Amino acid sequence: MATLREKRPGVWEVRVFTGTGQNGRPTQVSKTIRGGKRDAMRIAAELEVGPGRSSSAGRRVSDVLDEWVDQNLATWAPSSARDQQSRVRGIKRDQIASVPIARLSISDVERWHTRLRRSGMGDAGIKNQHGVLRAALAQAERWGWVSTNVASLARLRSTKTQRRSVMTLDDVRAVMTAAASIDPAAALMLRVAAVSGARRAELAALQWTDVRDGMLTIDSAIEVSSRGGGQPALRDAATKTANVRSITLDADTINSIEDLRAERELYGPWMFGLGPELVSPDRIGWCWKRARTIAGIDEAWRLHDLRHWSATVAIGQGHDVRTVAGRLGHANPAMTLRVYAHAFAAADQAVATGLGDLLRTEESDGAPRT
């Protein structure tokens, strides 16, 4: 309900009832308008029938988070829904959740970061919770609840840590050899991961029919939607970035796939499973851990590090970022640039060496220097 009051000729005050605050008292928003009564009535109508969310009155950070989850939950994959809701619960355990959004400041957000770090949370956890708060406040900004997204302005600091190294070629070969002692399919699984950069859930979703004419199509991933009763509930879902990519495979990998296919396709459609049932990503992870132990390589290496090895080596060999990003399934090459910036030093060295070799060849042929 809106009320209009002419404060003086040509100046109107518009008041709109917006609901009830947490203290049970009515809340309202007011606006001063310069113009005629028709202008004031138009503004009143906009405030009443706009998003219905034109004021921050009575709303706290926890309310913003709840609305954000409610608006987006239906669009999230099960794993994303689980992760995002867990992060929301984490934010609500902190005192920042009770801060009215009208008074939330950049300093509130940065002090929250400090509390999380002092509680023992690492950079990755802080970044994940900050991303949720920033997204929720972005929605609040679009709805007119706040005029500025303070989370996007807050400085997200990180502790100084040594950049993670990349697996050596010897490590990659050793773990693949060890996997062969477990099962030929395990060895092929790790080879495909190293060559294609496929993620664990994408490996679990690979079928024999995904390989055709020397190309591997990655168009889905196995999602673990729940683990009730000790058994995971699986579904064949879209990939992490919901895209479909086709990757060229080398001849040796193609031959290995065809050899295994000749033996096992009659048992089921899945490249790394037997039978018609979906392959759990946990099975892929178990094969990796077992092979890693047998190979005796560093226990800190993860299956995902084969993906990093693939990208780092490709960039270091001078291949362009767009091609590497396409093989990895990155939605934007900018992601590849950020994650693998360290690899460009090797690529730069390769360029210098290549140019030098060309000049050296010309000079050896008696060509004049230019």
Tell me whether residue 161 is in a domain.
no
One domain for residues 214 and 121: no
Which of 138, 253, 95, 108 is CA-nearest to residue 188? Answer: 253
One domain for residues 137 and 13: no
One domain for residues 107 and 190: no
Q: Which residues contact 213 (CB under 8 A, 6 or more apart)?
A: none
Q: Are 39 and 33 in contact (CB under 8 A)?
A: yes
Of 123, 153, 183, which residue is a domain's last?
153
Tell me whether residue 327 is in a domain.
no
Q: Per DSSP, what are the bridge partners of residue 282? A: none
One domain for residues 40 and 112: no
Q: Dig out the tokens for 152 from the structure.
A: 């996007």
Which of 220, 245, 204, 250 is CA-nearest to residue 330? Answer: 245
One domain for residues 142 and 246: no
Strand order in the sheet with 245-248: 211-212, 215-218, 245-248
One domain for residues 125 and 198: no
One domain for residues 116 and 42: no
What's the total number of domains in the chain? 3
Which of 55, 135, 53 is CA-nearest to residue 100? Answer: 55
One domain for residues 96 and 186: no
First to last CA, the chain: 81
One domain for residues 246 and 175: yes
**Which pLDDT tens digits describe the chain residue by residue (370 residues)?**
578 888 888 888 888 776 656 566 677 778 888 888 888 877 776 665 544 444 556 789 999 999 999 999 988 877 788 899 999 999 999 999 999 988 899 999 999 999 999 999 999 899 999 999 999 999 998 887 887 899 999 998 877 665 568 899 999 999 999 999 999 999 999 999 999 999 999 999 999 999 999 999 999 999 887 665 667 788 888 887 778 899 999 999 999 999 999 999 999 999 999 899 999 999 999 999 999 999 999 999 999 999 999 988 888 887 888 888 888 888 777 777 777 766 666 666 666 777 777 787 655 555 555 5
Which of 148, 6, 147 is CA-nearest to residue 15? Answer: 6
Tell me whether residue 289 is in a domain.
yes
One domain for residues 33 and 65: no
Tell me whether residue 315 is in a domain.
no
The pLDDT, as a whole number, for residue 297 is: 95
Buried b (16+ CB within 10 A) or exposed e, 311-329: bbbbbbeeeebeebbbbbb
Tell me whether residue 330 is in a domain.
no
The pLDDT, as a whole number, for residue 344 is: 63
- Residue matched to tokens 């005796």: 296
The pLDDT, as a whole number, for residue 53 is: 45
Of 268, 302, 336, which residue is a domain's last?
302
Q: Looking at residue 266, which CATH number applies to its domain?
A: 1.10.443.10
Tell me whether residue 342 is in a domain.
no
Q: Looking at residue 84, which CATH number applies to its domain?
A: 1.10.150.130
Of 121, 153, 185, which residue is a domain's last?
153
**CA–CA dist 248, 259 (Å, integer):** 18
One domain for residues 247 and 198: yes
Q: What three-state secondary structure class fits 288?
A: helix
Tell me whether residue 290 is in a domain.
yes
**CA–CA dist 109, 107 (Å, integer):** 5
One domain for residues 183 and 85: no
Tell me whether residue 270 is in a domain.
yes
Provide the angle, in degrees to the nearest 10, between the axes of the packed helices 78-92 and 123-142: 90
pTM of the model: 0.65
**CA–CA dist 175, 181 (Å, integer):** 10
Per the structure, the complete domain to which residue 98 belongs is given by: 61-153
Q: What three-state secondary structure class fits 282?
A: helix
